[in-house]
Amino acid sequence: MAAVQQQPEQEQQDGAAWGACSSAVLGQHQLQGLLEGWGKALLLLQGRLQQGADPATVQQEQLLQLQEEWLAAISRHCGTGNTSPCAGSVVDAVLQCMLQQHVGRLETTVEAFRAADQRRRGALGINQFRIFCQHLNDAMSDEEVMLLWQELDKQHTGSVTFSGICACLLPVMSDGA
């Protein structure tokens, strides 16, 4: 019974700690450091930065671009005149920004699939798959299309489904590729 009573107490303490943390006001220097840390963590998760390594020029540009996107989202979320947003609002704004990017990529993928699947079968043959790939990336070579096709059609059925494409492409797309 004591363990059961301790659990709600712990949840209350955790909730109070989050409430205090999420309402904490961030100064400009703190905000910049937080966004830089999040950007590096994101590049690490995407495999574009090695643990403990200093970012190269390209990665520094990616970090700056991420920070600019996030700062714009924070500005929209918290108001342009707010130079010291609270931590909860910053987290909210950044998560909304990242979610919108993923939704946009998914919408683009759906539109490309629909354009290629003219018979509305829910699956693409190789010729339709080429059309799909061209919608997503008109610079993709025939060799790249065939490599991707082989990865997707491992069972050699002669068709790939939308869910199969998403299972393969969405992890890559979330890396910003």
- pLDDT for the residue 114: 94
Rounded Cα–Cα distance for residues 19 and 51 (Å): 31
Q: Tell me what the pLDDT averaged over the chain comes to.
A: 81
Q: Cα–Cα distance between 93 and 124 in angstroms, integer?
A: 37
- Residues 52-95: tens digit of each pLDDT: 778 888 888 888 898 888 888 888 888 766 677 888 888 888 88
**Torsion, CA 93, CA 97, CA 98, CA 100, rounded to 10:** 130
State pTM to two decimals: 0.56
H helices of 46-86, in order, are: 57-78
The pLDDT score that the predictor gives to residue 141 is 92
Residue 3 has pLDDT above 70, yes or no: no
The reported pLDDT for the residue numbered 109 is: 87
pLDDT, position 35: 87
User: Stretch 133-152: mean pLDDT, rounded?
Assistant: 91
- Enumerate residues 6+ apart whose C-beta is below 8 A from 173: 102, 105, 109
Which pair of tokens denotes residue 87? 């931590």
pLDDT at residue 146 above 90?
A: yes
